[in-house]
Structure 1
Amino acid sequence: MDTKGLQKKLAKFCGERDWDQFHNPKNLAMALSVECSELVEEFQWLSLEQSSDIMKDPDKAIRVRHEIADIAAYLLRITDNLDIDIEAALVEKIQINEEKYPAKEFKGSARKYNR
């Protein structure tokens, strides 16, 4: 994924609409949370099987794709706003989690890491 290119495209889109005045870290974090909740709403009350099959329903699939796209857009906007290299941050976090959750100790377990 070309995160820098997408950030530029989103910045242009928002700039053309004079939305940068609203896109501060607080507002972007709140908007991101709202979009995550809207994705959760698509799965609310579904069984495990229904949630696994959600993309088989064209109407539901488009809604899920759009909510995920909204989440990605706000995530890219906030990382751009805060000058965070999202790819580097993700690689760093994966490395931290590899150390925190060694496969031999956590394989097949959903338990939380405790120091």
Structure 2
Amino acid sequence: MDADAQEQEIAELTRLVREFSVERDWEQFHDPKSLVLALVGEVGELAELFQWIPADRAATEFGPEGRQRRAAEEMADVLVYLVRLADVLGVDLGAAARAKLADSRRRFPADELRGVAPHKA
């Protein structure tokens, strides 16, 4: 999927989430702080699925033959709250992600860090 198609996908998802909120008169509850807390809660629910799964079995456990659908539901919740937060704050999520990735490419050059997990000093 090219960048334009991705931007259109994010814009459409943003529209759908905003429409869902408006239809229920939930904008009153969607201040940035509340959305961040909801987002953290959903990330916690996703993390809980993986909590006691050994790292070497996680991909298999949550693959197509495993509990992938359940993980997908929690990932969708995370994405929906993130998209809503970006909408409320007026953040172009696609542009922000591309800018962050460009900065990360500069900070972590592949030819210097291939196969090395960077850490903060």
Q: TM-score, normalised by structure 1?
A: 0.91
Q: Provide the residue aligned with 1:107 in structure 2.
A: 114
User: What's the offset of the Cα at 1:47?
Assistant: 1.1
- SS at 1:94 equivalent: helix
Task: Decide whether aligned partners of structure 1 residues 96 and 113 sit closer, same or farther in structure 2, where only a CA change above 3 A counts.
Answer: farther
User: What's the offset of the Cα at 1:61?
Assistant: 1.7
Quote the sequence identity (%): 35
User: What's the offset of the Cα at 1:63?
Assistant: 1.2
Query: Structure 1 regions of 5+ residues with no counterpart?
Result: none
Runs of 4+ in 1 over 6 A off after TM superposition: none
Q: Contact conserved, 1:100 with 1:113, CA < 8 A, in 2? A: no
| Aligned length, in residue pairs | 112
One of 51, 61, 71 as aligned partner of 2:58: 51
Query: Structure 2 regions of 5+ residues with no counterpart?
Result: 1-5
Q: TM-score, normalised by structure 2?
A: 0.87
Find out whether 1:95 has 2:102 as its counterpart.
Answer: yes
Q: C-alpha separation between the residues in 2 aligned to 1:48 and 1:65? A: 18
User: What's the offset of the Cα at 1:62?
Assistant: 1.7
User: What's the offset of the Cα at 1:103?
Assistant: 1.2
Q: Provide the residue aligned with 2:23 in structure 1.
A: 16
